Each structure stands twice: as structure tokens, then as C-alpha cells.
Amino acid sequence: MSVESRVLEMSAWRKLRKEEMDLITVMARHSPKSKEVLRSLSGCLVEDMKDGGMGSLRFKDADNRERRLGKKIAEAEFTDEDGIPVSAVLNLDDNGELFELDMWKVDFSTLKRYPRPEELRLKAPSQSPTAILRRS
């Protein structure tokens, strides 16, 4: 099932799919909040964001409180199967809880598939946006 067809099922809270879990795990593993984030992933509920099918996810807050974007804890890039670059940013809310996985495909087209872990290029958190770490 393509990411595009999954967008049609929007607005329903659900558990993370394997490919989403793999992406978030690789991204979060190198963040200062890695232990907390990785521990909470299996119980997370998410919804697909209305982003035109680029694959962004919003994490459900257990307390149903109003939340705001807090800070970025991980950033990565990969190339979709159609050759178009994609940016992925994992954000926390203003309370330090998972808020969203923000995906942006540079041509705004629909994401074809989530990357395999070895295809992900993690951006170093303390360096400039041009400093890329290759996963070993």
C-alpha cells in the first residue's frame, strides 16, 4: 500500500507501522532524549497529517491537552524511490513529549515509501545543516 493511499484513511489514531517505527527509531537513537523516546514508541498513537501524502505524522497526547511545537530532536534526509530528496524532522511538544514526524518532499509530491534504515542520512544535531552523518 503506497503512502498516498494511506492518506485517504486519515483522521484515525493508530499505532505506528513498522516502517514508521524503524525510521523514528533510527532518528531518535542519536538524540539527547533517545531513552525516553525509544521507550515510549511501542505505545504511541499517531495520525497521518494532511500534508498532501508526504508522510508526516502527529503523535497523540495521552492527556488530550493543547500542545505546541517544542523543539527538534532529530533531523535526517533520504531520497525517495522516484529520486526526489525528502527531509524528516522529529519534533517534541512544549512539554518534551513526541509531537510530530515532519516529512517534506522538496517537490511537494507524494511520498512513495519510507526509507530503509541504511538509506537515512542523519544530520548532526550540533552542526550546521550541511553536516551529514552517514549511518554505519
**Residue 13: all three cell numbers together:** 489514531
pTM over 0.85: no
Of residues 71 and 130, more confidently modeled: 71
Query: Could you report the per-residue pLDDT of 91-101, keeping only the tens digit for each?
Result: 999 998 999 99
Q: What is the pLDDT of residue 107?
A: 96
Torsion of CA 132, 69, 19, 76, to 10 degrees: -10
Residue-level pLDDT at 136: 38
Residue 131 has phi, psi (to 5 degrees) of -85, 110
